[in-house]
Amino acid sequence: MQASNRLRSIFRVKGLRKAELNFILITIIPAVIFYAVLRYYPLATSFYMSLHDWQLMRDHQFFIGLKNYFTILSDRTFLRAIQNTVLFAFTTSIITTILGLLVAITMNPIRRGGSVVRLIYFLPNITAGVGIFVVWRWLYHPQIGFFNQILRLIGEQRINFLGSPQWALKSIIIMAVWGAVGYYAIILVAALRNIPAMYYEAAIVDGGNGFQIARYITIPLISPVLTFVFITSLIGSFNVFMPVYILTRGGPLDSTQVIAYQIYVYAFQRLWMGMASAMAFVLFVMVMTLTVVQLRLRKSDEESLA
Amino acid sequence: MGIKTNSEKFFSVVRSRSVVKPGLKLWIWLSKANILGWFLLLIGGVMMVFPFIWMISTSFKPAPETVAFPPTILPKQWTWSNYLDAFNRIDIPRLYLNTAFITIVRLIITLYTSLLLGYVFAKFQFWGRNVLFIIILATMIIPFEVYMIPLYVMMVDFKLGNTYMALALPTLFSAYCIFMVRQFMYSIPSELVDAARIDGAGEFTIFHQIVIPLAQPVMVTLGAFLFMWNWHDFLWPLIILTDSTKYVFSVGLATFLGENLNSYGVLMAGSTLATLPILIVFLTLQKYVIGGIALSGMK
C-alpha cells in the first residue's frame, strides 16, 4: 500500500484524478514488463551469450571474451554471408526504388481503374510467404520450370537459376523485387499526390518540358520519400531469411548464404548459440548503423525545409 | 475524391496556354490518353499476377501436363487430384485450424493492447510518457534474429517449448501498431472522453464504449495487417514448434517441400490453399490496407 502510494505520488501530474492514474498504471505496467522481459532483456542476453562458448543443454557455459567474434569474422562462410547480405540488400533496394518510382509515376495520373491497378501491384507484397516462395521455386526449376520452358521455346540455353552460383542470388533478388515494388509504389504515389500544383504551374509558365519537370520538380520534391523508401527497404532486406530458406538453403557453394540464415543454422541446427549470438550482434550493428543514417538524413531534411 | 489530382490541375493549366512546344504536346497527349502508361502498367501487371496464375493453373493440372512442353497457361484437362493428394499427404484441415486459431488469438490480443496503449499515450499526461514511448518505439529497429536465441532459451527454460503460449508471447504488443493507434487517437476530440468522465463513467468503460467504437477505421487497417503478418509468420514457429500436429501452415508447407521436392502439382495445391485466406482477407479489406500503406510514408 505504501509503495503503491509512493508510485502514485511520483506519477501524479496536476489535475490527474485517482481513477485516471489507476488506469494509466494498469495499462502501462504490463507494457513495461513486456518490453523489458521480451525485448531488452533478450537483447542484452544475446550480447552476454555472444561472449561465451554457449551451447544448449549444458549446465555451465564458458566465458571466452570476444573469441566468438574473431572466429566468425575469420570464417569464410560467414564473411560470404555478410557480403551476400549487403549485395542482396543494396541491389534489391536500388532496383525496387527505381522501379517503384517508375510504377508510381505511371500509376499516378490514372483515375478510373486506379484502385484495380494498385490492387494488382500490391498483391505480391501481401501474399509473400512460404506458399508464394514455393511457387517461385517451381518457376525457377532447372528443367521444367516456366522460365526455362520459355527459354527453350525461344531456342535459348536453359539456365540453372537456383543451382548455379552465378544465378542463385540474382534469382532471389528478382523475386524480392517482385514482392516489394508494389508496396513502395503505393507510398510513392501518395508522395506524388502531395506535391502542390503551383510548382507545376510555375514550371509551365517558365516553359519547362516534361523531362525538365520530372528532373527539377518531381524528383527533388519527393526525394525525402525516395530516401525513406530506399533505406526502409535496405533495413528490411538485411534480415532476409525466408526466401533463402525456401529457395536455396544458402547454396550452391554458399552463393546465397546470408547472415540471418547463418544465425539459424548455427543456433538451431548446430546448437552453437554463443557463436550464433555473435553473428546476431554483427547483424544488429549493421542495422543500427543504417537506422542512425536514416534518422540523420530525416533530421537534415527537416532542417533544410525549415 | 472530388479533389483534382496534381496532374489534372497541371493539364488544365497547360491547356489554357496557346503556345506549347511540340515535344511537350506529344508528352501531354501520351500522358492524357495514358496509352504508354497503360501499356507499361499492363506489362508490369501481368508480371505481378503471373506467379498466382501459374500456381493455380498448375494445381489443377494432371501430373504429365505439369511437365509438358510447350507449357500450357491454363490446364487442358482440369483435375482435382492434386488437391485430393494434398489432403491425403498433408493434414490440411489441422494446419488451417492451427493457423487460424493462433493467428486470430494473436490478432485480438495485439489489437487490444495497441488500442489501449495508443490511447493512453495520446490522451494522458504522465511522468515519463515520452521517454517510455521512445523506448517502446526503439524496439522496432531490433531485428528479430538478434533476440530470438535468448527468447528461445527462455521459452525452453520455462518449459514452454512447443507450445502456442511461446508462439504468442513475443507478439502480445506491437510497437508499430501502438504508434499507428496513437497517431489516430489525436484525431479524436478529447471533449468526448471528458464528457463521459464528467458523467461518472469509469476509465475502462470510456475506453470500451467510446474510444474503441471511434477507432473502427484504424482497427480494420491494423487488423488486416496483423492477420497477414501472423499468417505468414515463419521463423519463430519454425523454431518453437517441434511437434507436427502443432505446425502452422507456413511451417507445414515448408516441411512438406523439404520431403517432396518435386511433386509440384501437390505443392502448388498446398501453396494455393496457404495463400487463399490472405487473398480473401486482402480483397475484402483492400481499401483499408492500401490506405494504411500510403499513410506509413507520410511524416
pLDDT at B34: 64
Query: Among B290, B295, B298, which would you mutate to test the A interface (most chain A Cβ atoms within 10 Å of its Cβ)?
Result: B290
Q: Specify the length of chain B in residues.
A: 299
d(CA B236, CA A158): 37
Q: Taking CB atoms and an 8 Å limit, are B49 and A120 in contact across chains?
A: yes
Q: Model confidence at A262, in pLDDT bands (50, 70, 90)?
A: very high
Average pLDDT of the segment spanning A242-253: 88
* Residue B76 DSSP one-character state: S
Does residue B98 belong to the interface with chain A, where contact is any CB pair within 8 Å?
A: no
Rounded to a whole number, what is the distance in Å from the CA of A196 to chain B's nearest CA? 7
Interface of A with B in 66-95 (CB under 8 A): none
The ipTM (two decimal places) reads 0.85
Is the predicted pLDDT of residue A255 greater than 80, yes or no? yes
* A41 pLDDT higher than 90: yes
CATH architecture of the domain formed by B89-296: Orthogonal Bundle (1.10)
Q: Do B69 and A149 touch (CB under 8 A)?
A: yes
What is the model's pLDDT at position A104? 87
Eight-state DSSP code of residue A39: I
**Residue A221 pLDDT class (50, 70, 90 cuts):** confident
What is the model's pLDDT at position B19?
A: 47
Mean pLDDT along residues A295-303 = 75
Residue B18, pLDDT score:
43
Q: How confident is the model at residue A153 (pLDDT cuts 50, 70, 90)?
A: confident
Half-sphere exposure of B162 (CA within 13 A, CB side): 5
- The closest CB to that of B146, out of A46, A103, A109, belongs to A46
Dihedral of CA atoms A108, A112, A113, A114 in degrees, nearest 10, equals 20
On the question of pLDDT at A157 being above 70, the answer is: yes
How many angstroms from the chain centroid is the CA of residue B156?
29
Q: What is the pLDDT of residue A15?
A: 56
What are the start and end residues of each CATH 1.10.3720.10 domain in chain B? Answer: 89-296
Task: Give which of A120, A99, A127, A122 is closest to A186, Cα–Cα.
Answer: A122
B-chain residues near A245 (CB < 8 A): 234, 254
Query: Would the pLDDT of A83 be above 50?
Result: yes
Phi first, then psi: give them for residue A63, nearest 5 degrees: -75, 125
The Cα A191–Cα A305 span in angstroms is: 16
> What string of DSSP letters covers B53-74?
HHHHHHHTS-HHHHT-SSPPSS
Task: Give me the residue from A108, A122, A153 closest to B290, CB to CB.
Answer: A122
- Res B128: pLDDT: 86
Q: For chain A, give the mean pLDDT.
A: 85
Cβ pair B297:A187 closer than 8 A: yes
Q: Does B254 touch chain A (CB under 8 A)?
A: yes
The pLDDT of residue A51 is above 80: yes
Cβ within 8 Å of B, A 109-168: 109-111, 115, 117-124, 126-132, 134-139, 141, 144, 146, 149-150, 152-153
Please answer yes or no on whether A32 and B31 come within 8 Å at the CB atom.
no
DSSP secondary structure, A221-286, as one string: HHHHHHHHHHHHHHHHHHT--HHHHHHTTT-STTTT--HHHHHHIIIIIS-BHHHHHHHHHHHHHH
Whether residue A304 is predicted with pLDDT greater than 80 in this model: the reply is: no
Q: In 10 A of CB B165, how many CB atoms? A: 11
Mean local confidence (pLDDT), A228-233? 86
pLDDT at position A237 over 80: yes
- DSSP strand pairing (A62-63 vs A52-53): antiparallel
Chain A residues in contact with B151 by the CB 8 A cut-off are 38, 42
Q: In Å, how far are A79, A244, A249, A250, A255 from A76, measured between CA atoms?
A: 5, 19, 17, 14, 12
Contact B166, B237 (CB under 8 A): no
- Confidence at A45, pLDDT banded by 50, 70, 90: very high
Burial of B260 (0-12, 13-18, 19+ CB in 10 A): middle
User: What is the spatial distance between Cα A48 and Cα A60, in angstroms, rounded to a whole number?
Assistant: 14
What amino acid occupies position A50? S
Q: Which residues of chain B fall below pLDDT 70?
A: 1-34, 295-299
Query: Which among B67, B142, B149 is the nearest to A267, CB-wise?
Result: B149
On the question of pLDDT at A302 being above 70, the answer is no
| Residue B148 confidence (pLDDT) | 93
Please compute the mean of the pLDDT values over residues A29-57 and round it to a whole number.
91
d(CA A94, CA A223): 14
3-state class (DSSP) for residue A55: strand
**With an 8 Å Cβ cutoff, are B149 and A276 in contact?**
yes
In a 3-state reduction of DSSP, which class is residue B116? helix
